[in-house]
């Protein structure tokens, strides 16, 4: 009896040992399989990373060949800035054929104009003020009246124009009239639609080419002054503004914001009296004033306010000028970033 029990115990021990051995073998097999899977995945991941890095580098090299690396100082060297070689009167090559032509309606800058208002020193008492009057968004049905008023007061201004002449053929002669009467013509984008202007750098370049080409073909002047839609302090650009600025600087262009705002954007329904007051109050606080006004078909109050603005400036002894190469750049983006 005792011998039988011992025999059973020995068999149980042997069975238990066999089970342990099987379990150990299974564990070793599972560990080996997991190790091989992990090792293979690691190799695949490394390969994918290498391919991704190569793609990114290729894209970066491609971008660098089209758009310059951001300079340490975005301010251009005016003395050594590249000169334009005027093309023949034809289309400047465009860089993105997929961008639509001039839209029916431009974007309203009302919410952006305050963002690009530049701070400046207060005027010293008795100092002769320099004042630059600028009009955005034209040409419009009111541009002719604006030019008539400026001629009457013997004042030169700056017009940052859009491609509205391509939408309304009757406006096309206005581009040349602006130049012929001694005013400065600048670019305010072709479409003035934020998603088109600031969608990416290709779209920005396309839009820039379109407005530059339009102005040149209508006036014979290759424009070099630019005003960003919404200003350089806008909050709607899809990329950092220095990237768009670098595109301008790579082509010898300069951009201008403003430090006096009349409040006449299309979304603001101010009276002509309020526009006059806002403008002259702003000029009184500035040593050098760059005034922002608008030239759109919806802003007759701006036209009505212009004589009062000019009379107020002349009463102050202001030196009213159009922007030229001697005008110091006024930059909201660089001043505040």
Which residues are identified as catalytic? Answer: 136, 294
Cα(181)–Cα(174) distance, integer angstroms: 10
Tell how strand 225-226 and strand 254-255 pair up: parallel
Among candidate residues 164, 165, 157, the one with its CA nearest the CA of residue 186: 157
How far apart are alpha carbons 22 and 267 in whole angstroms? 82
Q: Helix, strand, or coil here: 23?
A: helix
Q: Is the peptide bond before 139 cis (omega within 30 degrees of 0)?
A: yes
Given 3-state DSSP classes, what are the helix, strand and coil percentages for the chain, each rounded to the nearest 5? Answer: 50, 10, 40
Q: Which CA distances in Å does 211 have to 163, 183, 191?
A: 6, 17, 8
Q: State the pairing for strand pair 288-294/254-255.
A: unpaired
**CB-based burial, 161-199: b 16+ in 10 Å, e otherwise:** bbbbbbeeeebeebbeebbeeebbbbbbbbbbbbebbbb
């Amino acid at each position: 009896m005792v011998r039988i029990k011992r025999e059973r115990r020995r068999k149980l021990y042997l069975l238990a040992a066999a089970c342990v051995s099987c379990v150990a073998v299974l564990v070793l097999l599972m560990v080996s399989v997991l190790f091989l899977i992990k090792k293979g995945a690691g190799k695949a991941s490394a390969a994918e990373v290498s391919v991704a890095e190569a793609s990114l580098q290729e894209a970066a090299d491609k971008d660098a060949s089209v758009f310059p690396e951001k300079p340490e100082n975005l301010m251009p060297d005016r003395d050594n800035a590249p000169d334009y070689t005027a093309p023949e009167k034809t289309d400047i090559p465009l860089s993105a054929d997929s961008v639509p032509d001039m839209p029916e309606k431009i974007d309203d800058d009302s919410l952006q104009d305050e963002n690009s208002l530049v701070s400046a020193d207060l005027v010293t008492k008795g100092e002769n003020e320099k004042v630059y009057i600028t009009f955005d968004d034209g040409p419009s049905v009111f541009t002719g009246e604006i030019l008539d008023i400026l001629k009457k007061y013997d004042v030169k201004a700056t017009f940052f124009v859009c491609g509205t002449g391509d939408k309304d053929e009757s406006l096309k002669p206005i581009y040349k009239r602006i130049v012929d009467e001694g005013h400065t013509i600048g670019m305010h984008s072709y479409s003035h639609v934020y998603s088109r202007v600031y969608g990416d750098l290709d779209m920005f370049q396309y839009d820039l080419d379109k407005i530059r080409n339009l102005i040149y073909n209508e006036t014979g002047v290759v424009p070099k002054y630019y005003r960003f839609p919404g200003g350089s302090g806008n909050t709607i650009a899809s990329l950092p503004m220095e990237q768009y600025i670098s595109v301008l600087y790579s082509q010898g262009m300069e951009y201008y914001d403003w430090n006096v705002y009349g409040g006449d954007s299309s979304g603001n329904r101010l009276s002509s009296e309020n526009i006059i007051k806002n403008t002259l109050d702003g000029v009184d606080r500035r040593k050098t004033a760059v005034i922002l006004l608008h030239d759109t078909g919806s802003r007759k109050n701006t036209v009505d306010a212009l004589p009062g603005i000019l009379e107020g400036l002349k009463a102050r002894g202001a030196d009213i000028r159009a922007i030229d190469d001697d005008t110091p750049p006024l930059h909201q983006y660089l001043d505040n970033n």
